[in-house]
Structure 1
């Protein structure tokens, strides 16, 4: 184990070789640094066991962030239900979180274990710039997703036409350009970085007060305000729609009950009876008219052709009715009566058959109206359920985002203005990594609370089973 200190100016420090006292650039004296020899010949700022544990935990977080966000990106492009234009916001968020894991976190792991920056001033500047840019892009993408969800819920018809691929890509480009505008000023001179740089010189974000206010507002506080307002509006709009849906559901239930009672009333209504009675009366009148016409015709014929009639012809005319009334049981009479009864029955059946399609059409129309109402109700229920789940997911993402990043940005703003605030290195590292963990949690939130992402992840990972 080797121990050393430094003089009061970090910018003039040489690599660790003498015993001095660390003093922070803000004037905070830091605790004595004790460096520990390691089996690989590199001095660590923490004991070897702590360095190994830190490396394992932080490496797992990095791997989880990389794998999770790659799965999100692949899911959107390979799983058809997710291949919709609004999910490009999620792809942009995943890209931002992925760049944090690839370009920022590995250097932070090394810096935390070594306790010094060994990669030179240029890499330090680029690392800090990427840190601010990627974390800001991640936060601003969350803000863009919240706005997109807000417009989709509050103005669904108009926004569905406006939400084109061109518009979404334009918004994503705006997110990244704004992130670069927030992260690049230190490269142009708006910083308090030292002119000379050694391995023991701290590589840290500038504490220049003007830039701290500018970057914290653009990276966190303004997006936080926008997301809070938007989420409250989404909550109110969703709650209002659910109440309207509940009222519409009660109305649909009342309409269906009325329609069902109407259908039952048709089955016992006098429609069929009136129709049959009307048909019978019509048939009876028609039969009487037919008999009268036939009788008149027969009489006329009998008067004109009396000397030419035969007994057989008389039997078929009106004389038969006069002279054969008592012959109802004769075979010919039974045949004629049976034929007339069959003819009347056929006419009654034809009337009923003609009326049956009308009743069937009415009943089918009523049933179809009920089915249409049920279909619309089900579609609305599914749509509202999806919107409710999306709003809940957005709320969870926002809640996790606040928990992860608020401590860091409070510390980031307070320290440059508080000369007596001197947090320990371990506390600073913990708060910083709490912000970084947000990049690993977003894919997990999607997996837990979004059924389509869950299915896509299982498909990509070749995991079988129900969802």
Structure 2
């Protein structure tokens, strides 16, 4: 939703300011903005390629939502950021006219809001994994994931298609927009519509995600209570003192109760002790193994919750300023300046730049594929074989 309708509110004074930009300004802005675009495109392409090539990734249902997120983020880099850079460099404002403007806004609104809905389903998947346990495979299936993904795109395409192309015929509300130099969405001039959009695509998703994550956090906290790392049984590592003395006793040694069967008794004791030790060791191993598995499972879920919390935290930091500016801009056109629009819009878009780095930081399999695709596996990083512990495990 970080569309360019608010990224630059062009007027006569802003045109004059743009004409005053120096060559140095264009070079610096071009390098910085171009780098952001390149990183966004390459980062999300790596996510998609890793999903396509690595069965360890594409067999996890949660990763289907991740790749869906990356498809939308990739489109942000290819279209939203790229066209905004062209617009930013044109001193006369929007250079393409009305129809390209509406198509651009439609695409931009769709691809920036599909990730919002996707994060809801990522949180739902994590919620199912922790609460359904053995029944989780019944809930997390490829068929359901496909249906959910189709629903996301269909819902966003329908909603923003109506707002972009049918707003005036349906509502009769019309705002004069000079498409020769400006590109904005008529619906955003309506306060009620703007408020509804912010509630639907920010506050409702945020509340839903918070509820899911609260349940996940509470579940993990309950699992952590009373969890004690199991230790081997003492019998497995220590021999009884009496048995040791018997083992070291000579055949002729007597304690007043020797009946001449000392050696035989000693041998039998050794054999019996050996059997007991083996049984005890086996019991200790069997006792420790489930505990180790529980420890690993707990660590995996805990790290998954942290990862999801980081993803949601970045989502809030990147999106909230834009929505606040959008609401203020509807109430008071002069309250939000051109620079504020540009900063908040690009911060919104940069969420698509950051997401691939979150996957690489938190998921070993994604990280291994990124390193391999970039040709860094032999010169910088050493391959690791420990199991994945990210929220994409399922």
Instruction: Please give the TM-score of this superposition, normalised by the length of structure 1.
Output: 0.68
Distance 1:215 1:45 in 2: 36
Gaps in structure 2 of 5+ consecutive residues? 252-258, 385-394
Q: Which residue of structure 1 lines up, in the alignment, with residue 163 of structure 2?
A: 186
Compared CA separation, residues 30 and 400, structure 1 to 2 (3 A): same
Shift of 1:367: 0.8
Contact in 2 for aligned 1:75/1:456 (Cα 8 Å):
yes
Alignment of 1:199 onto 2:195: no
Contact in 2 for aligned 1:415/1:421 (Cα 8 Å):
yes
Gaps in structure 1 of 5+ consecutive residues? 1-23, 37-42, 277-283, 285-343
Shift of 1:196: 7.2
Q: Which digits, 9 at most, give the CA deviation of each residue in 1:269-315, with x for residues without a partner? A: 89999xx9xxxxxxx9xxxxxxxxxxxxxxxxxxxxxxxxxxxxxxx
Shift of 1:156: 2.0
What secondary structure, in the 3-state scheme, does the structure 1 residue paired with 2:13 have?
coil
Which is higher, the Rg of structure 1 or of structure 2? 1
The answer to which structure, 1 or 2, has the higher relative contact order (CA under 8 A, 6+ apart) is 2
Distance 1:29 1:87 in 2: 41
Q: Which digits, 9 at most, give the CA deviation of each residue in 1:70-101, with x for residues without a partner? A: 11111222234323222111111111111111
Alignment of 1:448 onto 2:358: no
Q: Which digits, 9 at most, give the CA deviation of each residue in 1:388-407, with x for residues without a partner? A: 11111111111111111000
Distance 1:181 1:428 in 2: 26
Shift of 1:236: 2.0
Alignment of 1:426 onto 2:339: yes
1:101 pairs, out of 62, 73, 77, with 77
- Range that drifts further, 76-85 or 142-151: 76-85
Contact in 1 for aligned 2:109/2:160 (Cα 8 Å):
yes
Compared CA separation, residues 196 and 161, structure 1 to 2 (3 A): closer
Alignment of 1:415 onto 2:329: yes
Alignment of 1:55 onto 2:30: yes
Contact in 1 for aligned 2:101/2:183 (Cα 8 Å):
no
RMSD (Å), alpha carbons: 3.3
Shift of 1:409: 0.8
Contact in 2 for aligned 1:76/1:82 (Cα 8 Å):
yes
Instruction: Please give the TM-score of this superposition, normalised by the length of structure 2.
Output: 0.80
Alignment of 1:65-464 (within 5 A): 65-83=40-58, 84-115=60-91, 116-190=93-167, 197-204=178-185, 206=187, 207-245=189-227, 248-249=228-229, 252-253=230-231, 256-260=232-236, 264-265=239-240, 268=243, 359-416=273-330, 418-419=331-332, 421-463=334-376, 464=378
What secondary structure, in the 3-state scheme, does the structure 1 residue paired with 2:153 have?
helix
Distance 1:183 1:383 in 2: 42
- Range that drifts further, 194-203 or 367-376: 194-203
Shift of 1:456: 1.9
- Range that drifts further, 211-220 or 201-210: 201-210
Q: Which residue of structure 2 lines up, in the alignment, with residue 32 of structure 1?
A: 13
Contact in 2 for aligned 1:34/1:46 (Cα 8 Å):
no
Shift of 1:238: 1.5
Contact in 1 for aligned 2:167/2:186 (Cα 8 Å):
no
Contact in 1 for aligned 2:68/2:118 (Cα 8 Å):
yes
Q: Which residue of structure 2 lines up, in the alignment, with residue 339 of structure 1?
A: none
Compared CA separation, residues 193 and 442, structure 1 to 2 (3 A): farther
Shift of 1:57: 1.3
Shift of 1:139: 1.2
What secondary structure, in the 3-state scheme, does the structure 2 residue paired with 1:422 have?
coil
What secondary structure, in the 3-state scheme, does the structure 2 residue paired with 1:32 have?
helix
What secondary structure, in the 3-state scheme, does the structure 2 residue paired with 1:105 have?
helix
- Range that drifts further, 135-144 or 368-377: 368-377
Distance 1:194 1:406 in 2: 26
